[in-house]
């Protein structure tokens, strides 16, 4: 029995390495240099890495947190992203787990899908499809509820969050982290910003 926590830790460590190019992000202010600037990658045709593909192997898992009830669905008015933000806020502090889309744990695209679903809007489940199917929005026209895409490695789209206004976004970053706020003004995220999308 004593070996199980160690085994779980080893799985988490392996998953962390697998997520280097997937739906993960390094702690703010760390990581290598990136060539991504100001949204030039939005129409980039290269490969998109998605954590859901890794999750399908079934080899990686984390213990889930305490049982939690999903908040009731909140029908959204057309063009009103506040319901999406409120749904994401209702699960702030829940742990990251690869392939999870709530209500007890989330990966980055799982949080987006969950928040929109609670607001009565169906969106794709994976980062890949969210990026491809969202309506592109100029950064100067962002509004609450828009989805923000990042190229963590500076090349391919690999992370997504929900814009909450005032230059901040909600996301589920990586193993060992929880759903939390982050700032677009931080150099780490500013240098990896790849574009904004909208689902109405």
Note the pLDDT tens digit of each residue in 21-30: 345 433 333 3
Note the pLDDT tens digit of each residue in 124-168: 999 989 999 999 999 999 999 999 999 999 999 999 999 999 999
**pLDDT at site 81:** 87
Peptide bond into 103 cis (omega under 30): yes
Q: 3-7, 39-43, 95-99, 109-113: which range is least confident on average?
A: 39-43
Strand 168-171 to 159-165 pairing = antiparallel
Band of pLDDT at residue 41, cut at 50, 70 and 90: very low
Band of pLDDT at residue 181, cut at 50, 70 and 90: very high
Query: At residue 43, does pLDDT exceed 50?
Result: no
Burial of 66 (0-12, 13-18, 19+ CB in 10 A): exposed
CA 136 to chain centre: 17
Q: What is the pTM of this model?
A: 0.66
**pLDDT at site 80:** 63
Across 180-194, average pLDDT: 97
Provide the annotated active-site residues. Answer: 108, 159, 171
Other C-beta atoms closer than 10 Å to the C-beta of 36 total 21
DSSP 34-55: ----TTTTTT--S----HHHHH
**pLDDT at site 180:** 98
Higher pLDDT residue, 44 or 195?
195
Structural domains for the chain: 3-198 (3.90.1720.10)
| DSSP category for residue 178 | B
Angle between helices 82-89 and 108-118 (to 10 degrees): 120
Note the pLDDT tens digit of each residue in 55-106: 333 323 333 333 333 344 344 344 568 999 999 999 999 999 999 999 999 9
């Amino acid at each position: 029995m004593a070996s199980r926590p160690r085994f779980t830790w080893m799985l988490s460590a392996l998953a962390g390495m697998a997520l280097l190019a997937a739906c993960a992000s390094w702690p703010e202010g760390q990581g290598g240099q990136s060539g991504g600037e100001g949204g030039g990658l939005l129409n980039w045709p290269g490969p998109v890495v998605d954590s859901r593909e890794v999750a399908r192997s079934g080899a990686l898992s984390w213990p889930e947190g305490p049982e939690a009830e999903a908040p009731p669905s909140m029908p959204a008015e057309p063009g009103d992203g506040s319901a999406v933000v409120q749904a994401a806020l209702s699960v702030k502090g829940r742990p990251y787990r690869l392939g999870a889309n709530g209500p007890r744990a989330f990966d980055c695209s799982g949080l987006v899908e969950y928040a929109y679903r609670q607001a009565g809007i169906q969106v794709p489940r994976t980062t890949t499809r969210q990026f491809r199917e969202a309506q592109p929005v100029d950064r100067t026209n962002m509004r609450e509820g828009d989805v923000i895409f990042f190229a963590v490695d500076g090349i391919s789209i690999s992370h997504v969050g929900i814009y909450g206004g005032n230059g901040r976004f909600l996301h589920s970053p990586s193993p060992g982290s929880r759903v939390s706020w982050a700032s677009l003004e931080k150099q780490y995220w500013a240098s990896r910003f790849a574009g904004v999308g909208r689902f109405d």
